[in-house]
A and B are shown apart, each in its own frame.
Chain A
Amino acid sequence: MNFNNNKVSAPQLGSIILLTVVGTGILTLPRALAENVGSDGWLLILLGTLLSAAVVLIHSHIVKSFPNKGYMEIISTCLSKPVAYIVVALLVVYFIILNGFLVRLFAEVVKLFLLLRTPIEIIIFSLLLLGAYLARQGIETLGRLAELLIPIVLVPSLILFLLSLEGGDLGNLYPILKTPIPNILKEMPTILFSFLGFDVLLIFGLYVNKPQKIAKSATRAILFIGALYLVLNLSVIVKFGVPQTTHLIWPTISLFKTIDFPGLFIENVEGVVMGIWVLIVFMSIAPILLVKVILLQDLFSVKDNKCFALPLLPPLYFVALWGASLAESYAYLDKFVTYTAPIVTLGIPGLILIVMTFKKKNKKEGEPNA
């Protein structure tokens, strides 16, 4: 393995995390929040950001404590080898399913807005092929691409957000803090799922050249995502108000449909929006694909992982086409994520953390005697 071609810097990892996370939640989050907590969505986003940042700190602490060890090795050190095999195998399945749903969502939106007559299978397949190509190039390419894409994605999005505010009504943010606390707690999972994807940190941590910087970059990425979600949610609510938002499947896209800037050289900015969004989703699918490739490499303990990228496509393709309709896919995804995501993001790292602290204690207690 060429060592030079396999390292990313901590900011690059942050960029990867940012793009991976944003791709999953950005389209539906405002609606989910409006449906359940009305105009108080911003509060949930704040809480969710803080919570995710805390979890990310745990993740980066784990990665930092085991320098030069992959996730599989970390698990086997802490929880014994057979457990590691099972956990990693399940992780691969988990990521395949998560990724598959994301691919489906992407394909549905592209088909609806851009390619009316193109068969959905072709849209999915071409996207997957491109993702596999990127995964074969390894993490360094991915890191560089992420770093490169962030300004390309963010600058136009921020301009579009500003343009979309024209004609909004700040009064839509009222009433403030009128949601009962139990409702807010009940909605915590929704917001946490929109941060889903930062767990790639556990797998990619090994490839960061300065592990002590991971925590800073990763939390910065999470805080940035939180700010982005906040801006997004506020603009949607200010523009549409709660009752209208609950009726929009993808409020974010509809938001951009309302932009009408006199003198703007293009009339409908959907083209630009879709372009940005394709980049975001692609950068959300590709890292997860690479995660699976790395996990499989660990699982079979082989030196070269390039051979795993293409065989992953057929299962992904089938998961993507699993749901008969968009509604069914969303329902499956919701159920799946509710049960598995807490285990993956909190359960396993939590266990590792507990074992780590015990071992440390033992070590400390053992040292004076030795």
Chain B
Amino acid sequence: MMLTLIITLSMFLTACWDKTEINDRAFVLALGIDHIPPSEQPKEDREHKALEKVLGEHAPHYRMTYAFPKQMLAGGEPTVENIIMSSVGENIYINERQMKARVDNQLFLGHLKSVVLGEEVVKTPQMFREVLDALEKDPLISRKVNLAIAVGEAKEVLNVEPKQESISGQFITDLFMGEDRTNRAPVADLDQLFISLHDNSNAAIPRLTGAEEELKLGGAAIIKNYEFVGWIGELESMGLMILKNETDIFVVTINADGINIPYQVTEIKTVYTIQQKDKEIKMLIEIEAEGDIVQYFFDPEEDVLDPALLEKLEQEVEKKLQGIVMHTVEKLQKDLETDVLGFDTYIKRHNPDLWAQVGKDWVEIFPTVEVEVVVDAKIRRVGLTK
């Protein structure tokens, strides 16, 4: 009995349906998704008209661009090539299958680092939601994947070969990473975006701009109800990040008596408080900042360690920060009318009774909410000289 059991077990253990050698895999680092309007679709796709009658109309409007490194053995010295391939199909998975006919290795998304969506994708809510769900459902794709919206087409952005790093997928990932990552675009990995979109179907997604040999991450696309409503610039993104407590080290320039002084924020904290009078909702935003004066003026007439001067400079910093934040709030409230500031989340959590009243009409109420920004800035250090 024991023997038969062992024999049967070992028989099952030998079966390997899912065996894949690691060098047979193509590790896709970046994925670009574009929407192709029907008029621009290649002619040969229209040839399948007869088939479409049977299968139903599925315009192949997805263009997927895969970027993966491949090791080449040319003349003994192994080199890593940056391979970028595109395919057009009805959805993400059809494309993946189609690609398999053109790639000798198995495309593997388990180590995917970043996804770039073309501008047109977020302008088509239906497609945007399809893409989001495909990304969320897939068991292989990590929730730590970064998402960015390309100005123009994702394919163009991925095709840029940056001077500094020839593997474009890796380069895009590096832009998102690191201690000193830009604070001019909101932090957004899939995890945070899914949470934000599940919560109120709004989100701010970083903007990726491609030039000839350069890529830049800055600014953000504002999504309202799964639809793109507009871009915000780099400074406004910074304001947004201040409001959402997502940034710590950044620099603002203040001007005092004709001198441009960079103020490096080392710590910043934002707290919302709600003040309610009858039906009027007022949001009080208190920001506490700490930082250093990293440059003042050579041989200054005034002493930088003089408390009176520091107080004056602190006031300038407060004015500046208040201006940036207020501008961001106004842009989001009046121009884009989209709550990505987390006002709704705040009310839901801290004042559920009020939310029960205003929750239904929040989209209309949000632009009318009165906002007051109070900044308290401290200068802690002034560098080596006085």
Contacts and interface: CB of A to CB of B under 8 A. Distances in A.
Contact of B199 (A178, A243, A257): A243
A258 B143 contact: yes
Interface string B1-25: 0000100110011010110000000
Nearest to A129: B9
A137 to B, nearest CB: 11
B198 interface: yes
B12 A129 contact: yes
Interface string A114-151: 11111100100110011001000000000000000000
A115 B195 CA distance: 29
A175 B195 CA distance: 17
B349 A129 contact: no
Interface in A248-294: 254, 257-260, 267-268
A115 B18 contact: yes
A268 B199 CA distance: 26
A241 to B, nearest CB: 6
A240 interface: yes
Contact of A244 (B5, B139, B142, B199): B199
Given A112-B139, A117-B18, A244 B195 contact: yes
B17 A118 contact: yes
Contacts of A133: 5, 9
B8 A129 contact: yes
B143 A175 contact: no
Interface string B222-264: 0000000000000000000000000000000000000000000
Q: Is the interface of B mostly helix, strand, loop or mixed?
A: helix
B46 interface: no
B349 A175 contact: yes
Interface string B183-226: 00000010100110011000000000000000000000000000
B96 to A, nearest CB: 13
A175 B348 contact: yes
A73 to B, nearest CB: 29
Contact of B15 (A114, A122, A243, A259): A122
Given A115-B18, A174-B349, A175-B352, A241 B12 contact: no
A244 B198 contact: yes
A115 B18 CA distance: 6
A330 B191 CA distance: 26
Interface string B44-85: 000000000000000000000000000000000000000000
Contact of A122 (B12, B194, B348): B12
Given A175-B348, A257-B142, A244 B194 contact: yes
A130 B6 CA distance: 10
B349 A268 contact: no
Contacts of A112: 139
A260 B345 CA distance: 25
Interface string B267-291: 0000000000000000000000000
B350 interface: yes
Contacts of B42: none
A241 B143 contact: no
B142 A243 contact: no
A119 B17 contact: yes
Nearest to B191: A258
Contacts of B380: none
A171 interface: yes
Given A126-B9, A175-B350, A240 B144 contact: no
A324 to B, nearest CB: 20
B12 A116 contact: no
Contacts of B18: 114-118
A171 B9 CA distance: 50
B97 to A, nearest CB: 14
B334 interface: no
Nearest to B350: A174
B381 interface: no
B111 interface: yes
Nearest to B133: A247
A113 interface: yes
A259 B191 CA distance: 10
Contacts of B13: 126
Contacts of B144: 257-260
Contacts of B5: 129, 133
A257 B138 CA distance: 11
B3 to A, nearest CB: 13
Contact of B111 (A257, A260, A267): A267
A171 B350 CA distance: 9
Contacts of B143: 254, 257-258
A114 B5 CA distance: 25
B17 A243 contact: no
Interface string B125-156: 00000000000100100111000000000000
A126 B12 contact: yes
B385 to A, nearest CB: 35
A122 B17 CA distance: 11
A267 B5 CA distance: 38
Given A118-B17, A257-B142, A243 B12 contact: no
Contacts of A125: 12
A141 to B, nearest CB: 14
A268 B142 contact: yes
B323 interface: no
B359 interface: no
B110 interface: yes
A95 B199 CA distance: 40
Nearest to B9: A129
A247 B198 contact: yes
A150 to B, nearest CB: 25
A118 B16 CA distance: 8
Contacts of B12: 122, 125-126, 129
Contacts of B136: 247
Contacts of A268: 110-111, 142
B18 to A, nearest CB: 5
Contacts of B198: 241, 243-244, 247
Nearest to A259: B144
A171 B136 CA distance: 23
A171 B139 contact: no
Interface string A83-123: 00000000000000000000000000000111111110010
Given A167-B191, A247-B136, A259-B144, 17 more contacts: A113-B139, A115-B17, A118-B18, A129-B12, A133-B5, A133-B9, A172-B349, A175-B348, A175-B349, A175-B352, A239-B191, A241-B198, A241-B199, A243-B198, A244-B194, A257-B143, A260-B142
- Among all A-B residue pairs, the 3 with the closest Cβ atoms: A174-B349, A117-B17, A260-B144
14 contacts: A114-B18, A118-B18, A122-B17, A129-B9, A130-B9, A239-B191, A241-B198, A247-B194, A257-B142, A258-B144, A258-B191, A260-B142, A260-B189, A267-B111
